[in-house]
A and B are shown apart, each in its own frame.
Chain A
Amino acid sequence: METEQLANAPAETLPQDGTEAPAAPLPAVCFENVKYSYDEEEGGEFAVNGVSLTIAEGEFVAVLGRNGSGKSTLAKLINALLRPTEGKVTVFGLDTADTKKAFDIRKSAGMVFQNPDNQTVASVVEDDVAFGPENIGLPREEIGRRIEYALDAVGMTQFRSATPSRLSGGQKQRIAIAGVLAIQPKIMILDESTAMLDPKGRREVMDVVKKLNREQGMTVILITHFMEEALEAGRAVVMHRGEIVMDGTPEEIFARADELETYNLTLPRAAYICKRLQQAGMPLKNAFDAEELAEGICASLQRG
């Protein structure tokens, strides 16, 4: 069965440097003119209004947007927590509208939520990580292996028998990621997973996510309102009032600062400073992070 293969595939591909076979022609996620409304009867406002989006396997996509732009709804539509009112969402060809497929879809599309406290099930780290593998009915030895693998991937091996409530925010969120990784999904959705963390915790989580994408070819969909985080992604999608209004590389998107502003989004801080300097007459290339900006300023000072 196709779904069976999908679910088992990561287990075999993992040890080999995570180089994925490029044979699968199916897109990881595909939205076809999707609409979703929270109050079904009245046909009220659509939280997601006519979204078409294709994400290929191995992509790192940041979904940006202010509060209420529909980005979290978009995330929940992917792993069948919500089902589209209109249109169609498929994950590796599986239609999320089909209730019977929800289990397989969730096996291949894992999701990490915003509040680390509200997604921990057990009082011991390893029990919590085991929750997913237990749910998909793996044998004990395999669950043990997956716990080791998942905790190692997020760098939390030494906390295996710790209590989650005693950990820091960043550590808790890494445990939540490990809990999802233990299912070995092909897609990792992070729904504002860094929003409640301090800068250090945010860094920890982003490092883990980047590593998963680079080293294991995991498809990452990062929902965020931190523009800096979008710079780590290969592609950024901007949502506004339930629609996708911009789609491109983060550099392309941040180059259109005025347009971003109409969606109530600001540039990453470094990019903003860069833009102001340009406006003030400094001859600078577009820079998006602090390092690039510093180099640019140095170069222009030497020239001048």
Chain B
Amino acid sequence: MLNDVTFGQYYPARSFVHNMDPRAKLLLVIAYIVSIFIANNFFGLILVTLALVFFILLSRVPFGRVLRSIKMILFLIIFTAILNLLFYAGGEDDIVLAEWWIITISWQSIINTIFLAMRLLLLVLGTAILTLTTTPVALTDGIESLLKPLKYIKVPVHELALVMSIALRFIPTLMEETNRIVAAQKARGANFETGGLIRRAKAMIPVLIPLLVSAFRRAEDLGDAMDARCYSGAKGRTKYKKLTFTWRDLLGLLFFAALITGIVLLNTYLLGRFDIIWQVQQWFGI
């Protein structure tokens, strides 16, 4: 039942993007998100889309695999799009196409809806590239390294990173355990498949309680095992895996610097308007 759930969605391959430093990738994703939000016209977003396609090609992850990550938030995208379409209050020069009770569909709201949906899609696809090309472990290392400055304001960065990596490490173990408990409860006549939502949720209680108890037992064992292997916090500890920036990361950073500059230029050049019709009109002098 739970066997096919693999944690994370890492797509193993050898590529330019896979080989980038996880810290660089995290920074680039932040830059990418920023660029999506500063782009205030369709041309800016098209530029971001081109950059995204370029990176997908570089990462050698099949397009289908990347697009699959939309599935999870498709509902959210549609939901916000519909709300936007129906309830967007346009400006005075807006052309109203349909009006009923509190619902108005206008030219502006259609444009706005498309723009918003595009932003969300780009957001999800871009971050998917990060998780598709970086293992959760590397990601944790990257986050730990990037958050290191917070140590000076007494944030336990090393401990947080360790907690995260141990959590990742225990996901398959606990998954296996869950399957075992489910099987054991089924053998005792438990029914997980029929009934309404509440009934099914209730049926999970005899699974969750043993799981919780065993998780605590495991935690205690792990604590002993860590103690026995001389763990004594971040103090005096060295790290085996070292992250290093390479020319790839430099290229990536330069690429994104160019992207953001391009978007800013488009924004100022197009006066911050994102009505595509208006833009076309301006261009052709209609």
Interface residues of A (CB under 8 A from B): 76, 79, 81, 103, 106-107, 110-111, 113-115, 117-124, 126-127, 130-140, 143-144, 147, 163-165, 176, 179-180, 183
Q: In the complex the two chains form, is B240's CB within 8 Å of A106's CB? A: no
Q: In the complex the two chains form, is A122's CB within 8 Å of B169's CB? A: yes
Supposing A110-B228, A135-B229 touch, asked if A121 and B238 sit within 8 A by C-beta, the answer is no
B272 at the interface (CB under 8 A from A): no
Interface residues of B (CB under 8 A from A): 136-137, 165-166, 168-169, 172-173, 176, 218, 221-222, 224-232, 236-242
Option from B137, B225, B228, B240 in Cβ contact (under 8 Å) with A143: B240
Provide the bound-state CA to CA distance between A114 and B229, in Å. 15
B194 CB to closest chain A CB, in angstroms?
A: 32
Option from A114, A120, A130, A183 in Cβ contact (under 8 Å) with B169: A120
Provide the bound-state CA to CA distance between A186 and B128, in Å. 48
Excluding A121-B225, A143-B240, A165-B173, 12 further A-B contacts by CB distance (< 8 Å) are: A107-B230, A113-B228, A117-B218, A119-B221, A119-B225, A120-B169, A121-B165, A122-B165, A135-B232, A136-B230, A140-B239, A165-B176
**Beta-carbon nearest neighbor of B233 in chain A:** A135
Provide the bound-state CA to CA distance between A126 and B241, in Å. 10
A107 CB to closest chain B CB, in angstroms?
A: 6
**Beta-carbon nearest neighbor of B229 in chain A:** A132
Contacting residues, chain B, for A163 (C-beta < 8 A): 172
Supposing A122-B165, A132-B229, A179-B229 touch, asked if A113 and B221 sit within 8 A by C-beta, the answer is yes
Contacting residues, chain A, for B165 (C-beta < 8 A): 121-123
Contacting residues, chain A, for B236 (C-beta < 8 A): 136-137
Supposing A79-B228, A107-B230, A123-B137 touch, asked if A134 and B240 sit within 8 A by C-beta, the answer is yes
Q: In the complex the two chains form, is A81's CB within 8 Å of B240's CB? A: no
Q: In the complex the two chains form, is B240's CB within 8 Å of A140's CB? A: yes
Provide the bound-state CA to CA distance between A139 and B238, in Å. 7
**Beta-carbon nearest neighbor of B226 in chain A:** A121
Q: Which 5 A-B pairs have the closest CB atoms?
A: A119-B225, A118-B221, A130-B240, A165-B172, A132-B229
Interface of A is mostly: helix
Q: In the complex the two chains form, is B237's CB within 8 Å of A134's CB? A: yes
Option from B169, B222, B240 in Cβ contact (under 8 Å) with A123: B169
Provide the bound-state CA to CA distance between A273 and B231, in Å. 47
Q: In the complex the two chains form, is B225's CB within 8 Å of A113's CB? A: yes
Option from A137, A164, A176, A180 in Cβ contact (under 8 Å) with B237: A137
Provide the bound-state CA to CA distance between A138 and B166, in Å. 22
**Beta-carbon nearest neighbor of A136 in chain B:** B230
Contacting residues, chain A, for B169 (C-beta < 8 A): 120-123, 164-165
Q: In the complex the two chains form, is A135's CB within 8 Å of B237's CB? A: yes
Q: In the complex the two chains form, is B225's CB within 8 Å of A122's CB? A: no
B71 CB to closest chain A CB, in angstroms?
A: 26
Q: In the complex the two chains form, is A133's CB within 8 Å of B221's CB? A: no
Provide the bound-state CA to CA distance between A117 and B173, in Å. 7
Q: In the complex the two chains form, is A122's CB within 8 Å of B137's CB? A: yes
Contacting residues, chain A, for B168 (C-beta < 8 A): 123
Q: In the complex the two chains form, is A106's CB within 8 Å of B227's CB? A: yes
**Beta-carbon nearest neighbor of A164 in chain B:** B169
